[in-house]
Chains A and B, each alone.
Chain A
Amino acid sequence: MSEIKKIIKGCLAGNRREQELLYRRHAAKLYAVCLQYSGNDEEARDILQEGFIKIFENLVHYKHEGSFEGWMRRITVNTALEKFRSRHNLYRVDDIDQIPEPDAEPDNQDYAGLEANDLLGIIRELPPKYRMVFNLYAIEGYSHKEIGKMANISEGTSKSNLSRARVILQRRVGSYTGIKKRIANG
């Protein structure tokens, strides 16, 4: 029996040591996911907490098919999504937001020198609805149709939010790398 199977078995038996072991092994990675989906640390902590409770509750349904880490990540992302839906009004952007679609900018910038911590900071500055769509599409790999269902928005809204998110990110990453270069050059 693999180590993870042993840990899961222990968790299902209510063994505190195994539960804590599972948490300690995966909390740091999942907390980074929570930070990515939230605008502040308190929200991220709430998502992690609720996500892990769901993980423990649903362990009995885990079929040992596919990656266990991926399974936990999906639960965490879904928890973030639920939290998002309960906190933000998800009106369709094309209904309430008459801002014209931004012009696409050539995506040929040099992003060298950006660290994960910088990227996380930039992504968390996005407006919540843009952040959610960008994360689900660009990081998790969902389609606009899937995102529409998950986030309770239309496909068009999902595409529009992604487009705006990218433009904002490009601008911020550009200015960020520029600042970094200037600091490096003295």
Chain B
Amino acid sequence: MDKRGANIDIVFRNGLEDYEVLPPQEVWDNIHPVVKRKRRPFILLRAAALIAVVLSMSFLAYRWSREVSTGHESTVVALNVETTSPVISPDIIRTIPVTGKENKVIQGSQKTKIKSTQDLTNTPDDENNISPAVGYLQVPNSLSASETPLLHGPRLVTLNSPQNKTFQIEEIKEQYLPENNAVKGTDRWSIAAMASPTYYSRFNSGNDELSKQLMASEENLISYSGGVAFSYKINKRFSIQSGLYYSSVGQMVDGINSFGGFQKYGNTAKGDPNFKVLTTNGTVRTNNADVFLLSNGPVERITTNYTNDVFDPIKANLLYLNNTLRQNFSYLELPIVLRYKFVDKKIDLNLIGGVSYNMLVNNSVYTMVDGGKYPIGDTEGLNLLTVSSSLGMGMEYSFSDKLSLNLEPTFRYYLNPFNEMTGSKIHPYSFGIFSGVSYKF
């Protein structure tokens, strides 16, 4: 009778094989909002990352376009006779009186080289009075100015005198000048308070089937990171940063039914866990004697003396709690980061890279019951110290000389795993968008 092909079995198997019944519309109406809501955190995170990247690219494009369009205007007046090298004047306003009573004002950080087509020693005294040291260019009223735009290379401004003495003012691009990387004595230090939601996941570069199966029923949690950072400006472009951060990462392990009320039945030796659960982040061991665990997934990951043959939680009327375990690890992090400022404007852009030493400060496993945490145990064999590398891009918007708002999308890769699981090569990584305020002093 108990044979697979019993006639009655075949009747039902074949009869119901392609049977279809249209469900009521309300089912889909209830499904969609839930699916949409559950996806939101990840979508928001991706959207935020995208916005950050777009903003950064926009600023790069903006800066590049400004350089192209205004590069020639940023010049300084300098005087030069044919055979001498250009003299660069300091940043001051210079007035060049030109044709008639009209004055041409060349402002700010303009850098200009004047070439004469005649020997300047023969020019009137007024012209000889032109002194780079004074930093004030007096050109006789009788001189007229005209500009000769060049398609490539520096633009020439030609000054014509009635005596056909012609000066060509060659404007020199700022880029020809040595960059001043000096930093003021003040504002070298800054302190920043930063926080970020963090999406955490793992690369599995190994080929072992077990870790793949385990990973299939594990889901990473959105976690948080935050702390205080100090940075020291080495020069105008480079600064070094350190600080202290607190981060919390974790994952959900599906397919583990948990029940409460087991304490009166368990008689495991004191100190020994009643249950052990294998995960890719290590083995969970129960330290709550009241909890009973039962595997309900495709992978048998529980080790216990209380197998279902020995003890039936339903029959014992234990309280069903949940079918998911949550592993949580908290770290104190000491980052050492180098920042390179490649755009120095109202909004600065920085490339950020470095390493972080992370010390495990909390390790807990729990399940959720009615919105609250029900403790299960902890994860054994975790590395107390992990090292991660980070790469990111920082945007810094200055409210004032002292205060600025920071936004830093950062990718972090853990150089060693949380736990050395035999045969597997699982390296965690995380992506977060840190935001916060910094103060210079």
Residue ID in chain B nearest A107 by CB atoms: B7
Contact of B12 with A169 in the complex, beta carbons under 8 Å: yes
Contacting pair B20 A29 (CB below 8 A) = yes
- Interface positions, chain B 1-29, Cβ under 8 Å from A, are 1-2, 4, 6-9, 11-13, 15-16, 18-24, 26-28
Q: Which residues of A contact B18 (CB under 8 A)?
A: 29
B305-354 CB contacts (< 8 Å) to partner A: 308-309, 312-315, 320, 323
Q: Mark the stretch among B33-41, B122-130, B237-245 that contacts chain A.
A: B33-41
Docked-complex contact B21 and A32, CB < 8 angstroms:
yes
A23-B31, A119-B15, A138-B13 given; A91·B21 CB < 8 A: no
For B, the interface residue count at a CB cutoff of 8 angstroms equals 43
Q: A27-B22, A27-B28, A85-B314 are in contact. Are A19 and B11 (CB under 8 A)?
A: no
Closest to A82 in B: B323
| A150 shortest CB reach to chain B, Å | 8
Complex contact A61–B35 (CB within 8 A): no
Contact A35 B26 (CB under 8 A): no
Kindly list chain A residues whose C-beta atoms are within 8 Å of the C-beta of B26.
45
Q: Which residues of B contact A82 (CB under 8 A)?
A: 296, 323
Which listed residue, B2, B35, B43, touches A56 by the CB 8 Å rule?
A: B35
A48 in contact with B23 given A23-B28, A169-B8 (CB within 8 Å): yes
User: Does B101 sit within 8 A of A, measured CB to CB?
Assistant: no
A65 smallest CB distance to B (angstroms): 12
A32 touches B19 (CB 8 A): yes
Chain A residues, Cβ within 8 Å of B320: 86
Q: Is the interface of A mostly helix, strand, loop or mixed?
A: helix
Within 8 A of A (CB), among B204-220: 216-217
CA distance A28 to B15 in the complex (A): 16
Task: Digitize B217-249: 1 where CB-to-A-CB distance is under 8 Å, 0 elsewhere.
Answer: 100000000000000000000000000000000
| Alpha-carbon distance A149/B308, docked complex (angstroms) | 8
| Interchain nearest-CB distance for A53 vs B (Å) | 5
B31 adjacent to A16 (CB under 8 Å): no
Chain B CB within 8 A of A8 CB = no
Contact of A116 among B7, B16, B22 (CB under 8 A): B16
Residues on B with C-beta less than 8 A from A36 are 16
Interface residues of B in 36-53 (CB under 8 A from A): 36, 38-39, 43
Structural contact, A138 and B21, CB atoms closer than 8 A: no
What is the CB-to-nearest-CB distance from B150 to chain A, in angstroms, rounded to a whole number? Answer: 51
Q: How far is the CA of A166 from the CA of B31 in the complex (A)?
A: 35
Number of A residues whose C-beta is below 8 Å from B? 57
Query: Which residues A75-98 have CB closer than 8 A to chain B?
Result: 82, 85-86, 89-92, 95
The complex places the Cα of A27 from the Cα of B309 at a distance, in Å, of 37
Instruction: List A contacts of B32 (CB < 8 A).
Output: 16, 19-20
Report yes or no: A45 in contact with B13, Cβ–Cβ below 8 A.
Answer: no
Write the A100-138 contact mask toward B (1 if CB under 8 angstroms, else 0). 000010011101001111011001000000000010011
Is there contact, CB below 8 Å, between B20 and A28?
Answer: yes
Assess whether B7 is in contact with A108, with CB atoms less than 8 Å apart: yes
CA distance A117 to B15 in the complex (A): 9
Cα separation A23 to B43 with both chains bound (whole Å): 21
Instruction: Chain A residues near B19: list those with CB within 8 A.
Output: 29, 32, 116-117, 120
Chain A minimum-CB-distance residue to B15 = A119
Contact digits for B133-175, partner A, Cβ 8 Å, 1 yes 0 no? 0000000000000000000000000000000000000000000
A41-60 interface bits toward B, Cβ cutoff 8 Å, 1 = contact, 0 = none: 00001001100110011000
B-side residues, CB < 8 A to A, are 1-2, 4, 6-9, 11-13, 15-16, 18-24, 26-28, 30-32, 34-36, 38-39, 43, 216-217, 294, 296, 308-309, 312-315, 320, 323
Q: 8 pairs across A/B with beta carbons < 8 Å? A: A28-B21, A45-B26, A61-B217, A90-B314, A111-B11, A152-B308, A163-B1, A163-B2
9 A-B pairs besides A152-B313, A159-B2 with CB distance below 8 A are: A20-B32, A27-B23, A29-B19, A48-B27, A52-B31, A116-B15, A116-B19, A162-B2, A173-B8
